Chain A
């Protein structure tokens, strides 16, 4: 501890350089945090998927509809605890840029299937009594300043009401929160009975099913049973675990996500290279001083530790500030809510970041520190004389 003031004084030697180095490391870790949040955002469906949930959709493609009657048939399959359906509504609020997902559902069954959406009891009751009632996630409610009791006009490019009218109106009866971090709070749900009665075509047809199974270990087998049940009908199904489905969806964005990560990693390491070089230079400039310390009796190990401590302090200051800033940025909401509805910095990535800060401090400091350690006193002192 008594050596800390020495480390500190060395950092203050060139305040400008120290600050610039700290700032560039800050930028690197801000980017790192942003990258992690982005990656999380692109794959959040996978990590949030329930292990005991399957998704069943039309075998040919996701856009094709399935009969509503499949629900009862699925629930009769042994090992299936429940099945609920959703239908892509594609709702547009005011402008297509304001995109968020919207689906008609059957409220009670839906809430039982997805306990991650938390809705206060009185709002649950209100939704049960109001046919044109809808609920929305906290994020979208705040994005548009919606309050409970508001009448929300939503246009659907897919579903018209009888008479070819594509304008729908819903009364907002509830705003839900997430039971855990990472829950998608951008979605809007409304009642299927109201939707089915009002739509002009496609009555009795739904988009896809979520199936809860009693034992996650049987997932593959039950998925096969479900698909076999509907084989050779006009509406064949393709059933897979929710996680696999989400994974597949993330893969659709795929190449770009991977590209982003590759590029950001390159960025990160470039900045680290620059910062590391500066630190090495700061040590090289002090060759004679280090020689004097060693002449005085500072051991090689002590000199190594002093130089490493210096580099650790710099990286810790920049890195932790950068991570903190990234966390703040992420906590402030998604930069592109329509495309990335969920955007946050997972604690696991913060930990990885802290680990990287430590590793960077070591790596950036190690080379100059070893040089300092190996320094021949007589040579170091002669440079000056």
Chain B
């Protein structure tokens, strides 16, 4: 026990000694810390894009909402259902009902060209035609400005994300679809979900505008409970009149986000890994020169009877301290630089734009700090070992 205490007091003494000489090595220490701050900021930046995109796409996905597509379709965009299919689906078991009928909405999903506010270049903005049950089916839709569109009229309401990202989607403005002008009468939120990137209108008005006759692309159905999904799905897939596939909304959305988030994450991790390597070299250099600048001091301490262990640990401490300082700096910087940054990009599965905000989550920050700590430990380990192995007599003579 006394040995342990002695050991710790040695570590403390050597570490204090090291930290006191830190200002003399301020330049190179700062450069190493900045390098690590850079790694952390980049990692956080990339992951916050992936996280924000994922959140925008999947966060509103519910287990008790089912999505029905034509079998073989990979997204609403490529799906197609006719009026008869829709009726069969709405009457299937498991669909929640209200006084005026089943909670099911047959929908159209198309895109419309609108300019981005940021670049004024045209972008594929998703335009969704819905039936009147749609809002009750979703459950999380809230009109925050203006009002909902009126069925049968050339009116649209706009998701808050789309309103921010694309020109012309302001309350009271008109957007042009083919030969007709449609009024923007409302702006809505949908719990941060994908619907906020969309423009909504009455399906019956959208069908002729896009030459869709009486066909739809998907049916959204609110189920009586999440558990009713299997019965609902089985009854539809077993029905000889239909060729459909049935998904939970949550599953569908998760699938929709994989391509883009996977891409961003893999590129992000690849780049952060390379960068971590660069920062590691920087940290190693800094710590090696820290050790070599103090060769004489370290040897003096060793000659006075300090053990090799405390010397190693103290060097590691310093390196870890620098790394964590840099890491914290990078994480805080990244939080302020990236969190909430509004952007939009294309969702490859539907060719349509998703508006989202970069999202820095606590777990993401922890993740980044862990990287910093690993760099710090590795960057300190080898120089520390060199310090411990210094031949005392020779090092004492060193100038």
Interface residues of A (CB under 8 A from B): 16-17, 20-21, 23-24, 27-28, 30-31, 34, 38, 59-64, 90, 92, 96, 99, 155-158, 160, 164, 166, 232, 234, 236, 238, 247-248, 251-256, 259-260, 263-264, 266-267, 270-271, 273-275, 277-278, 280-281, 335-336, 338-339, 384
Question: Do A17 and B178 have beta carbons less than 8 Å apart?
Answer: no
Residues of A within 8 A of B279 (CB): 24, 270-271, 274
Residues of B within 8 A of A267 (CB): 38, 42, 271, 275, 278
Chain B, residues 195-225, CB within 8 Å of chain A (1/0): the string is 0000000000000011100000000000000
Residues of B within 8 A of A24 (CB): 277-279, 281-282, 285
Question: Do A166 and B72 have beta carbons less than 8 Å apart?
Answer: yes
Residues of B within 8 A of A164 (CB): 243
Question: Do B121 and A248 have beta carbons less than 8 Å apart?
Answer: yes
Minimum C-beta distance from B175 to chain A (A): 11
Residues of B within 8 A of A60 (CB): 112-113, 177-178, 209-210
Question: Do A234 and B211 have beta carbons less than 8 Å apart?
Answer: yes
CA distance A336 to B270 in the complex (A): 12
Residues of B within 8 A of A34 (CB): 271, 274
Q: Does B267 contact A (CB under 8 A)?
A: yes
Question: Do A160 and B351 have beta carbons less than 8 Å apart?
Answer: no
Chain B residue nearest to A31 in the complex (CB): B274
Chain B residue nearest to A288 in the complex (CB): B399
Interface residues of B (CB under 8 A from A): 27-28, 31-32, 34-35, 37-39, 41-42, 45-46, 49, 71-75, 77-79, 110-113, 116, 118-119, 121-124, 177-179, 209-211, 243, 259, 263-264, 266-267, 270-271, 274-275, 277-279, 281-282, 284-286, 288-289, 343-346, 348, 351, 353, 399
Residues of A within 8 A of B399 (CB): 384
Minimum C-beta distance from A160 to chain B (A): 7
Minimum C-beta distance from A326 to chain B (A): 10
| Shortest 4 CB-CB contacts between residues of A and residues of B | A270-B38, A274-B282, A277-B31, A24-B281
Residues of A within 8 A of B274 (CB): 27, 30-31, 34
Question: Do A274 and B42 have beta carbons less than 8 Å apart?
Answer: no
Question: Do A255 and B122 have beta carbons less than 8 Å apart?
Answer: no
Task: Count A/B pairs, Cβ under 8 Å.
Answer: 182
Question: Do B124 and A256 have beta carbons less than 8 Å apart?
Answer: no
Of A166, A234, A263, A270, the residue contacting B35 (CB under 8 A) is: A270
A-B contact pairs, 5 of them (CB 8 A): A27-B274, A27-B281, A34-B271, A160-B72, A338-B348
Of A92, A99, A255, the residue contacting B344 (CB under 8 A) is: A255
Find the residue from A17, A27, A270 having the highest chain B CB count within 10 A: A270
Sample of 8 further A-B pairs with CB below 8 A, known A60-B112, A232-B179, A339-B263? A20-B284, A61-B113, A63-B111, A63-B351, A248-B121, A256-B345, A271-B35, A271-B279
Question: Do B351 and A254 have beta carbons less than 8 Å apart?
Answer: no
Find the residue from B49, B79, B113 having the highest chain A CB count within 10 A: B113
CA distance A90 to B343 in the complex (A): 27
CA distance A59 to B34 in the complex (A): 50
Question: Do A255 and B118 have beta carbons less than 8 Å apart?
Answer: yes
Question: Do A251 and B116 have beta carbons less than 8 Å apart?
Answer: yes
Residues of B within 8 A of A273 (CB): 31, 34-35
Question: Do B42 and A277 have beta carbons less than 8 Å apart?
Answer: no
Residues of A within 8 A of B49 (CB): 256, 259
CA distance A278 to B270 in the complex (A): 25
Question: Do B278 and A27 have beta carbons less than 8 Å apart?
Answer: yes
CA distance A25 to B282 in the complex (A): 10
Chain B residue nearest to A232 in the complex (CB): B179
Residues of B within 8 A of A260 (CB): 267
Of A30, A157, A236, A338, the residue contacting B73 (CB under 8 A) is: A157
Residues of B within 8 A of A27 (CB): 274-275, 277-278, 281
Question: Do B122 and A248 have beta carbons less than 8 Å apart?
Answer: yes
Residues of B within 8 A of A158 (CB): 73, 78
Of A280, A281, A336, the residue contacting B263 (CB under 8 A) is: A336
Question: Do B28 and A281 have beta carbons less than 8 Å apart?
Answer: yes
Chain A residue nearest to B210 in the complex (CB): A64
